[in-house]
Amino acid sequence: MFTEIDYSIFDFAVSLTEAVDLVSSDLNDHHKKVCYISYMIAKEMALTDNEIRDIALGAILHDIGAFTCEEKLKIISPSMAFHDDINNQHQYMGYKLLRDFQPFSKAATLIKYHHARFDKSANEIPIGSYIIHLADRISILLDKRREVLGQIPEIMNAIEKRKAIFHPDTLDALRQIMKVEYFWIEACSLPVTVILSERIRFPRQIVDVETIRSLAKLISQVIDFRSRFTATHSSGVAAVALELAKILEFSERECKFIEIAGYLHDIGKLAISDDILEKNGTLNVEEFNEMRKHTYYTYAVLSKIKGFEQVATWAAYHHERLDGNGYPFHVKGANFTKLSRLVAVADIVTAITEDRPYRRGMSAEKATEILSNMVTSGGIDEGIVAVVKENFQHINGVRIKAQQDAQQKYNAFYDSEQDCGERYLSR
């Protein structure tokens, strides 16, 4: 079913930040703007292609450690552009998230220091961090409601007034590129992703499935670590989906990609507000309508990645039903493929058996009763549910183990190493 395909790690990074930016129109492609501005500064400074690629990755992911919408909006507020009291813990959180994934490891270091103010004695701070810092400040000073070229004098004036906090080489580069109008026009251009993809020499390369799995697992942490209510949910779904695929004797490669779909099935929840995700109770009609959009966002984000079109449907169809009464696409019959049905069942099994802060998971008897009722009503695949029933204790044990491991990672991530207060993290 699958052939080897070349993937671009940059495509995954862009898709992830697109999902993050969907949570509020005020974000307005902030990460893409910072990436473009960083690229232009680095290019003007004649950095190497490898350095530029790492800076672009760091810039596109620079605020990935800001989990709440409130925090995201605060750190991009023009009123906070030069405040010393802004909480910059998000840069260390981003570093912790990305540092162990080899393709992002250098970018992680740049993110760790991307709010660092210039200090000649700070030899450990890479030039890329200073570039991202300057680009970040320019991006948040740009007012999307106003014509861009008319803003140049006041933006440059604001930067020059505070030139001591920026690396002088980055400022010299900015002073050169600010003279050409196309820089400002492109920085505020809607197809900025196309511009970046065409100019930044990110080689498309064969990426092995294990690397994609590691990346999917990393992304699941970005998804789940936002809320204590679902802190391990994606890990549970991935584990259940993988186990069901093995029992049903899908190929080894299909099994690996179905696990990846499980890790990524809720990526669209990055576009849902924290208030809805964290609500300890029943959602009202308006809130539920917002929540229902997340499956579409999952499809929209994943389907843009070349080679991920099929995985996108497996991941995004987890609230579809065999009778066509699911959402958001109302697929049914043959269009609701076996592996999509499998992820849907894995999601249900995980949701009803996992513990949440506000309720305990269902017993085996209650869970299988719920699944049987959903089969009877025409919602989910009878054959897959039969496999769940026959192997319930084993499958549930796999889920529990996967979620216990994920919970340990969640706890460790938020454990107070407190080295996020290092000397240069909030200078």
- Per-block mean pLDDT, blocks of 10 residues, the chain (427 long): 64 84 74 94 95 94 85 70 65 93 94 91 92 95 92 96 96 97 89 77 71 92 87 96 98 96 95 87 92 95 88 97 96 93 98 89 96 96 98 97 94 66 42
What does the block give as tokens for 86? 């802004």
Radius of gyration of the chain (CA): 23
Closest by alpha carbon to 407, among 372, 365, 356? 356
Residues 6-205: name the CATH superfamily. Answer: Hypothetical protein af1432 (1.10.3210.10)
Peptide bond into 357 cis (omega under 30): no
* Domain 215-414 superfamily per CATH: Hypothetical protein af1432 (1.10.3210.10)
Q: Where are the domains of the chain?
A: 6-205, 215-414
Residue type, 126: P
Q: Token digits for 93? A: 């959180």
Interhelix angle for 9-21 vs 209-224, to 10°? 20
Q: Taking the mean position of all CA atoms in its chain, how far away is CA 424?
A: 26
**Quick one: DSSP state of residue 378?**
T
Instruction: Please say whether the beta carbons of 371 and 349 come within 8 A.
Output: yes
37 Cβ contact list (under 8 Å, min separation 6): 59, 134, 135, 138, 139, 187
Residue 418 confidence (pLDDT): 46
CB 368 within 8 A of CB 348: no
Residue at token pair 């809320």 = 227
Do domains 6-205 and 215-414 share one topology? The answer is yes
